[in-house]
Amino acid sequence: MKPSGNILFCGVGGQGILLASEITAFALLECGLDAKKSEVHGMAQRGGSVVAHLRYGKKVYSPLIDPGQADYLVAFETMEAVRYLPFLHQGSKVIVNTHQIPPPAVATGKMVYPADLLSRLTSLNISVYPLDGFSIAKQVGEIRTANLVLVGALSTFLPVEEELFLEVLKKRIPRKIEENIAAFREGRKITA
């Protein structure tokens, strides 16, 4: 039987979520799997909460992941990981960038950024893999590779060989390929 799964990518508009989900989709397709991805463009891209659904398997019908059906959540921002909790199930794996971006109500002092957010997930039997994408990206020498750290961390769970993933990166990433691969490898270390 061919493997199947549902990956939800979430974060804040402008964080590079579309590229991360695109690369993951390519890697899965290269394995001979069917895949569908659903994105939302337009209004939400102005700094709002953004989500992309990626589903793979032998044959994919619905482009949307149902509530309670996301096997993996790749969150580019901490609070956003918690926003999509209703999509998760016991046993979901959550890769979360510990970076925090205050939403308008927090930035203007009307609300506070909740503390202890990730314990909400772990207390529900969800495995959480926090990582500081920006520090790692800085270490590898290119601040814009934080999304590849997240993809790297996700990749160890997917039915894709590391070599194949690297081939996809080389083909699909236009610039700074060395740094992107380094970021991807650092990400893998976190979940390996």
Point out which residues bind other proteins (CB under 8 A). Answer: 12-13, 25-26, 29-30, 32-49, 60-64, 66-69, 79-80, 82-83, 85-86, 88-89, 102-114, 117, 120, 124
- Comparing CB distances to other proteins, the nearer of 13 and 190 is 13
Contact 12, 77 (CB under 8 A): yes
The nearer residue to other proteins, 28 or 154, going by C-beta atoms, is: 28
CB of 180 to other proteins, least distance (A): 18
Least separation in angstroms between residue 73's CB and other proteins is 12
Q: Which is nearer to other proteins, 40 or 166 (CB)?
A: 40
Return the number of the residue (100 or 192) whose C-beta is nearest other proteins: 100
Distance between CA atoms of residues 112 and 115, nearest Å: 9
Any residues with CB less than 8 A from the CB of 83 and at least 6 apart, and which?
A: 10, 49
CB closer to other proteins out of 2 and 189: 2
Residue 119: in which H helix or E strand, if any?
helix 119-122
What is the closest distance, in whole angstroms, from the C-beta atom of residue 189 to other proteins in the complex? 26
CA torsion through residues 187, 188, 189, 192, sign: positive
Least distance (Å) between residue 192 CB and other proteins: 26
In the complex, least distance from residue 131 CB atom to other proteins, rounded to whole angstroms? 19
* Cβ contact 95:191 at 8 Å: yes
CB neighbours of residue 150 within 10 Å:
31
Alpha carbon distance 81, 99 (integer Å) = 11
